[in-house]
Amino acid sequence: MIRVAIAGGSGYAGGELLRLLLAHPDVEVAQVTSERLAGKFAHRTHPNLRGLTRLRYVPLGELSSCDVLFSCLPHGASARHIDQFLANAERVVDLGADFRLADPDEYERFYGEPHPRPGLLGRFVYGIPELNREALEKASLVACAGCNATVSILALRPLFVEQVAKSVVIEVKVGSSEAGNRASEASHHPERSGAMRSYNPTGHRHLAEIRAVLGGPGAACAPVGGIHFSATAVEMVRGILATCHVFVREDLDDKELWRIYRRAYADEPFVRIVKERTGIHRYPDPKLVAGSNYCDIGFETDPHARRVVVMAAIDNLMKGAAGQAVQAFNIMHGLPERRGLEFPGLHPA
């Protein structure tokens, strides 16, 4: 059995990770931390796990040695505690944003402050399995991608690899769980209920990740018109729907788009191409992937312009966080990628 610990297990991503790892046949969950709730049962914050575990939260200072440490701490905390993590575990998988970017200048540009441990940037493998499977097989340090970055990169990368994209505008609609489980003015029910709120029309931090993978300096597939990103909060708890307007260099029809996406994803266990001729489920829908590790991708050509609309849907807490982390964990240990991630979602839900 692979002995694991979860640092910062009381949040939504930590709870999803605990749920997955408790059911994983090759894992023993040894410890889960929370400073605020130390001594309390984990099922106090994750009531869906009642009867499945008697684990109690411990403070970070009481972490003991393990094979893999998953960090679900708030932004900045993983960097502060990284020396402790490396002393406690052979491998670290960070679900936060601290080590996703290799370029310290990009980090400072998007996060507004210098990176506290710039010497470690670039040592973490960026944890989207569909991009970095071979690197993950040998990795000891993994930085899981941001949820908005994950859905956008998976939606667009095939077109960028084929160098058909001239520019792209990405609009993501996100559920409330993306903001975490700490209450705020924005999450107060009278303010959030019924709202459709643009909260990052420009400057979203996840754009740095998208640029680094798809259009960073010197990237062969970088579009001449750039990559533009906006985010809107909608009345949904889980999920992200990315609608990507891709302005292409030449006319493309559906047959060629099918060929491009099949070449990229035919053998991927968690990417599905969703494009039906009729019916209400002919395009990706976040509701249909809730609780699963799938990314559903669809597309439509604009007959009046050189524009392709690519749509992609994920559960932000699964393929955008805990599910992606477990998929990377499986690859790191030579396990089948689907291990512990077989849940297909619910319908209706």
How buried is residue 117: exposed, middle or buried, by Cβ count under 10 Å (0-12/13-18/19+)? middle
Q: Bridge partners of 197?
A: 233
- Rounded to 5 degrees, φ, ψ at 30 are -90, -40
The residues carrying an active-site annotation are 147
- 217 confidence band (pLDDT: 50, 70, 90): very low
pLDDT at residue 221 in the model:
56
| Segment 287-344, tens digit of pLDDT | 999 999 999 999 999 999 999 999 999 999 999 999 999 999 999 999 999 999 999 9
- 26-40 mean pLDDT: 97
Q: What is the pLDDT of residue 222?
A: 58
Q: In what order do the strands lie in the sheet with 197-200?
A: 197-200, 227-233, 165-174, 240-248, 307-314, 295-301, 271-273
Q: Are the CB atoms for 212 and 102 separated by under 8 Å? A: yes
pLDDT, mean of residues 247-267? 95
pTM of the model: 0.96
Q: How many CB atoms lie within 10 A of CB 294?
A: 25
17-21, 49-53, 59-63, 196-200: range with lowest mean pLDDT: 196-200
Residue 138, pLDDT > 60, answer: yes
> What is the distance in angstroms between the CA of the first residue and the CA of the last residue of the chain?
34
| Phi, psi (degrees; rounded to nearest 5) at 313 | -135, 135
Q: Is the dihedral of CA 23, 26, 31, 36 positive or negative?
A: negative
Q: How large is the average pLDDT for residues 106-126?
A: 95
When pLDDT is averaged across residues 185-208 and rounded to a whole number, the result is: 87
Contact 216, 222 (CB under 8 A): yes
What confidence tens digit (pLDDT) does each residue in 161-189 have?
999 999 999 999 998 888 777 778 878 88
Provide the strand spans (E) within the chain. 2-7, 27-33, 57-58, 66-71, 89-94, 125-126, 141-143, 165-174, 197-200, 227-233, 240-248, 271-273, 295-301, 307-314
Q: What percent of the chain has pLDDT over 70?
A: 97
Q: What is the mean pLDDT of residues 206-219?
A: 80
Rounded distance between C-alpha atoms, residue 174 and residue 196, angstroms: 10
Q: What is the pLDDT of residue 218?
A: 45
- Kindly indicate the confidence band of residue 223, based on its pLDDT and cuts at 50, 70 and 90: low
* Whole-angstrom distance, CA of residue 264 vs CA of residue 270: 12
Q: How many beta carbons lie within 10 A of that of residue 161, not counting itself? A: 15
In the prediction, which pLDDT does 216 show?
53
Task: Please state, rounded to an integer, the average pLDDT across all residues of the chain.
Answer: 94
Beta carbons of 14 and 45 less than 8 angstroms apart: no
What is the secondary structure of 177-235 as a DSSP string?
Answer: GGG-SS--TTTSHHHHTT--EEEESS--THHHHHIIIII-TT-TT--TT-EEEEEEE-S
Q: What is the pLDDT of residue 220?
A: 46
Q: Residue 261: is its pLDDT beyond 70?
A: yes
Q: What is the pLDDT of residue 274?
A: 97
116 is written with which tokens?
């506290």
